[in-house]
Structure 1
């Protein structure tokens, strides 16, 4: 229901009161109608777009036009904006949610050591190479479920671009 439909419903639910001047409507009725008004859904945007919108609105005080112009200065933003101008405008006007980045685990194969797994993990904001030893001969892949072992593409490629070939998307 839009605002005009809500106004019509409230008017229909009202009545003349001999005590009050004008029309009267129960508060409960008005609340019911207000809760039926459609609110614009927040759109989902990539993190780099969200960061630029926040920066332009909060730090610079830019309007929509200048923010779009600002985004066109960056290749990744310009490419996204080319196909998503309406989404960008909705994000600007009604707010947004940040798109969840894909996460990956990286196991570096070592055919000579089947009892050891070598993988990338993050600790204190930095990515490292780690190992885990299988004491009982059966491979143990618990490390894949650890949040520190689930990395974004950018985190992997920052220092270990060569390891990207071994990345597997987390399901």
Structure 2
């Protein structure tokens, strides 16, 4: 398999599986060699192409599942049996939410939970949304009502809200606590959050707009 600079790779070094990054490539008519930077005594080594493997992709799980796994980690002495027992018997809201997530797709999600606990995982980034609210405004030129889209702003420190006609400008004021890009939970946790959620639009759907 061909690799390029910056690729992550795995290889066997003195009987142990190591992970490293390709930093340089040398190619001849008969072979390709890669310089690999890795964590170890040498820190750098040259290996032939046949000695390298692509690492298995890291499993990705939703944040609620990541929180559940963190509370049942092997490092804290928990076993997979402990995790499954808590999942089936606990009345904790987090456990119940993870149970509901598994039941959405019992075979795939149940296997993903077990594999993530055993092999490691990364938490998926939560989708972000703009809340675009249709507001009635009188056009002074025509003296008629027209509908314009306004964006909901949330101050994550004070939980105040306001609206603006521009959903981008506030991104420059993050240090003040104001946000236009919000998670589903942030939207639904506001007063009238369920109503606001009806007007939520994924950020990626608007990123291409001028």
TM-score using structure 1 length: 0.64
- For residues 87-137 of structure 1, give each alpha carbon's deviation from its aligned partner in whole angstroms, at most 9, with x where no partner exists: 11221122111112221111222112569864322334454322336xxxx
- The answer for the alignment partner of 2:189 in structure 1 is 158
- What's the counterpart of residue 57 of structure 1? 73
> Hey, what does 2:60 align to over in structure 1?
44
- Higher RCO (CA 8 Å, separation ≥ 6 residues): 1
What is the rounded CA distance, in whole Å, between the counterparts of 2:118 and 2:86 in structure 1?
17
Q: Supply the distance in 1 between the matched residues of 2:125 and 2:118 (Cα, whole angstroms).
A: 21
Native 8 Å contact 1:64 1:92 kept in 2: yes
Matched residue pairs, number? 144
Gaps of 5+ in 2: 2-9, 16-44, 139-145, 205-210
Question: What are structure 1's unaligned runs of at least 5 residues?
Answer: 8-27, 134-139
CA gap of 1:33–1:118, structure 2 versus 1, over 3 A, is: closer
Give the structure with higher Rg (CA). Answer: 1
8 A contact 1:118–1:130 mirrored in 2 = no
Would you say 1:142 and 2:168 are equivalent positions?
yes
**Aligned-partner SS, 1:119:** strand
More strand by share: 2
| CA-atom RMSD in angstroms | 3.7
TM-score, normalisation: structure 2: 0.54
